[in-house]
């Protein structure tokens, strides 16, 4: 089977697309549908998977989970009516409200990175958790003599300043070697089965395959909920509204 074409990588605001069915499989009590191309975001990079529907005149499939592996996107769920046959044309539609929230949260995580960078902290980015249930980003580093409360206030103020600039999002597909000129930090490990992409807010770049807002005002309000340091790891918890 050919790798699934990832439409969300080139158009992050795309919520609907046409496709044809590569395979339909019953697995572990669920149904797995694979397509030639998809607009559904599979969980990864700290961002949750999309939900939605895949349908045609004969069947409707409810997408409850989306996963990615070895170049293939698996749409996991159940048929509300009928069942697809291999080779059929279908229409995909993402749950717009869920996607919008996940997108704002993911962009909000990058804005935390921007604020930390502009404040001169030399922390090394690590894990990002951009789920509605308590989003945060982690860094290797130390707060030094500053209190968590003081640092939270500084980052929160800088975030407000950045959001007020209303920078537009740009994406570029580049090699890993080219990323170093665009990004403050490039992880050692990058997926080899996805396009190599940088998300840019002005001149601040982050290697990322997730979905993001068109411009920073679309995030809404963003606040720092808490900062915690433990064993050389700083966790910055944030929220968007």
Q: Among candidates 169, 164, 160, 158, which has minimal Cα distance to 203?
A: 169
What does the pLDDT read at residue 13? 96
Over the stretch 64-98, which tens digit does the pLDDT of each residue have?
999 999 999 999 999 999 999 999 999 999 999 99
Residue 166 · residue 215 · CB < 8 Å: yes
Integer Cα distance of 228 and 142 in angstroms: 10
- Give residues with Cβ within 8 angstroms of 188, minimum separation 6: none
Over the stretch 177-195, which tens digit does the pLDDT of each residue have?
899 999 989 988 888 878 8
Q: Among candidates 37, 19, 24, which has minimal Cα distance to 73?
A: 37
Over the stretch 113-161, which tens digit does the pLDDT of each residue have?
999 999 999 999 999 999 999 999 999 999 999 999 999 999 999 999 9
Q: What is the mean pLDDT of residues 52-70?
A: 97
Over the stretch 229-239, which tens digit does the pLDDT of each residue have?
999 999 999 99
Instruction: Choose between 207 and 193: higher pLDDT.
Output: 207
What does the pLDDT read at residue 176? 86
- Domains of the chain from N-terminus onward: 5-94 (2.40.30.130), 99-240 (3.30.980.10)
What does the pLDDT read at residue 160? 98
N-to-C CA span, the chain: 42
Residue 59 has pLDDT above 90, yes or no: yes
Integer Cα distance of 68 and 43 in angstroms: 7
Quickly list H helices, the chain.
96-118, 148-165, 176-179
What does the pLDDT read at residue 193? 79
Residue 75 · residue 32 · CB < 8 Å: yes
């Amino acid at each position: 089977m050919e790798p699934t074409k990832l439409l969300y990588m080139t158009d992050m605001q795309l919520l609907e697309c046409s496709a044809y069915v590569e395979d339909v499989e019953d697995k572990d009590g669920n149904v797995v549908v694979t397509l030639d191309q998809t607009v559904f975001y599979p969980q990864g990079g700290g961002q949750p998977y999309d939900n939605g529907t895949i349908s045609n005149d004969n069947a409707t499939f409810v997408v409850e989970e989306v996963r990615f592996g070895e170049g293939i996107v698996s749409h996991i769920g159940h048929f509300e009516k009928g069942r697809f046959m291999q080779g059929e044309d279908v229409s995909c539609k993402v749950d717009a409200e869920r996607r919008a929230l996940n997108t704002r949260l993911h962009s909000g995580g990058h804005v935390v990175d921007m604020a930390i960078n502009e404040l001169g902290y030399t922390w090394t980015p690590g894990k990002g958790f951009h789920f509605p249930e308590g989003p945060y980003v982690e860094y290797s580093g130390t707060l030094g003599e500053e209190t968590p409360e003081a640092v939270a206030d500084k980052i929160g103020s800088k975030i407000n300043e950045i959001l007020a600039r209303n920078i537009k999002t740009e994406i570029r597909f580049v090699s890993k070697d080219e990323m170093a000129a665009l990004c403050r930090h490039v992880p050692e490990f990058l997926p080899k089965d996805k396009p190599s992409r940088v998300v840019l807010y002005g001149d601040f770049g982050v290697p990322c395959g997730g979905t993001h807002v068109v411009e920073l005002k679309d995030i809404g309000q963003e606040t720092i909920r808490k900062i915690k340091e433990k064993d050389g790891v700083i966790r910055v918890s944030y929220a968007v509204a």
